[in-house]
Chains A and B, each alone.
Chain A
Amino acid sequence: MVSIGCVIKTPGNSRNNKTGSWRTFKPILDKEKCIDCDNCIIFCPDSSVNKQHDIDYDYCKGCGICANECPSDAIEMVKE
């Protein structure tokens, strides 16, 4: 049923849509090499890296921006 005015009353419910299924390449972070610059968090289009630099594979689309912007080459893109 479409609500009047197409109002959606559940903020952020696009989380139901697990975009991780789009992925071809998977980012793998080596925390030993990580220098906490937070580039991977700041530049992730899918908010899939948390403050502890854990990657959320439910939503990561595998774009590879995190690996490209990592100054210490701590992230490797591996084929699924």
Chain B
Amino acid sequence: MDIPDKDLLAPGHRGCAGCGASIAVKLALNALGKNTVAISATGCLEVMTTPYPETSWEVPFIHVAFENSGAVASGVESALRIQGKDDVNVVAFGGDGGTVDIGLQSLSGAMERGHNMLYICYDNEAYMNTGIQRSGATPYGASTTTSPKGTASFGEDKPKKNMPMIMAAHGIPYVATASIAYPEDYVKKVKKAAETKGPAYIHLQQPCTTGWGFPSEKTIEMGRLAVETGSWILYEIDHGNFEITFRPEERRPVKDYLSTQKRFKHLDEEHIEKIQKYVDAECKELGL
């Protein structure tokens, strides 16, 4: 992998020790290069990288509200196009809350109108910045502060919203899933998305040490476990062609992934079995 002399996301940001979001953004910006305008919805990323009057961004950056990063990215892209600046990458980043819940309508509009932009959802599977509240992307069984484990609840009782397939249903030219634990695969997809004419969407799983409850050094290991157990599947849909981009040699039991995180530690065998069945069905459907 190409290592730049200087990353386009500067250190000194306030991300937690072991933060996956900064790895996600660093790798994406390095792949896109300096000729990029970045937009970010409200969320961990914006809070940790731009505590006024400081910024970690080495490219032009706009922070917008939770719900409108798709709309603002559309505007930036249109303004650049009218000025004849066709060689500038426009990339929007949103967390799972800013993407699958609050920002969904403006993102849907941006995708449907065909803007030449890339949207990357860094999915840490809950609202981590505001105190680990559940989102539409929180997986079944996870304990969060608004779906807490206890006598009346076993945690989140609904499966994760299938956001990449919602994006694929827009008929846009490029949709992919990725993981920070597989940087070559991720960077390749970012470059492919940038080269694609029209809208592109990447849904990136990003383990969160604070919200998921694992030691800070395990961020990448946790992403790898998600993929090795089939809990997170790496694929792309390039102009309608679906392809799995990474196949684990042998799929590990989902328990290996669940038992290492505090948010799943309370689950009994019955729930683990249910999650295993859900993962098996998903893998079968996608051909993993």
Contact = CB atoms under 8 A, between A and B. Distances in A.
Interface of A: 2-3, 6, 8, 10-19, 22-23, 38, 41-48, 51, 56, 58-59, 61-65, 67-69, 77
Contacts of A65: 18, 216-217, 219-220
Contacts of B12: 14-19, 59
A62 to B, nearest CB: 6
B137 to A, nearest CB: 21
Contacts of A42: 1, 3, 27, 183
B220 A43 contact: yes
Size band of the interface chain B makes with A: 35 or more
A62 B219 CA distance: 13
A contacts with B: majority SS: loop
Given A45-B22, A65-B18, A68-B217, 7 more contacts: A12-B57, A13-B55, A47-B7, A51-B3, A64-B18, A65-B220, A69-B220
A43 B54 contact: no
A12 B23 contact: no
Contact of A59 (B3, B11, B20): B11
Contacts of A46: 11, 13, 15, 22
A7 to B, nearest CB: 9
B112 interface: no
B273 interface: no
B5 interface: yes
B contacts with A: majority SS: loop
B11 A56 contact: yes
B218 interface: yes
Given A11-B58, A16-B12, A64 B7 contact: no
A64 to B, nearest CB: 3
Contacts of A8: 50, 52-55
Residue picked from B10, B15, B20, most chain A C-beta under 10 Å:
B10
Nearest to A19: B12
B233 interface: no
Contact of B56 (A12, A44, A56, A58): A12
B217 A63 contact: yes
Nearest to B5: A51
B1 A64 contact: no
Interface string B196-225: 000000000000010000011111110000
Given A17-B54, A22-B17, A65-B18, A47 B10 contact: yes
Contacts of A59: 11-12
Contact of B215 (A2, A44, A64): A64
A45 B18 contact: yes
B60 to A, nearest CB: 8
A14 B55 contact: yes
A22 B17 CA distance: 8
A12 B15 contact: no
A63 B18 contact: yes
Given A8-B52, A45-B22, A15 B216 contact: no
Contacts of B22: 45-46
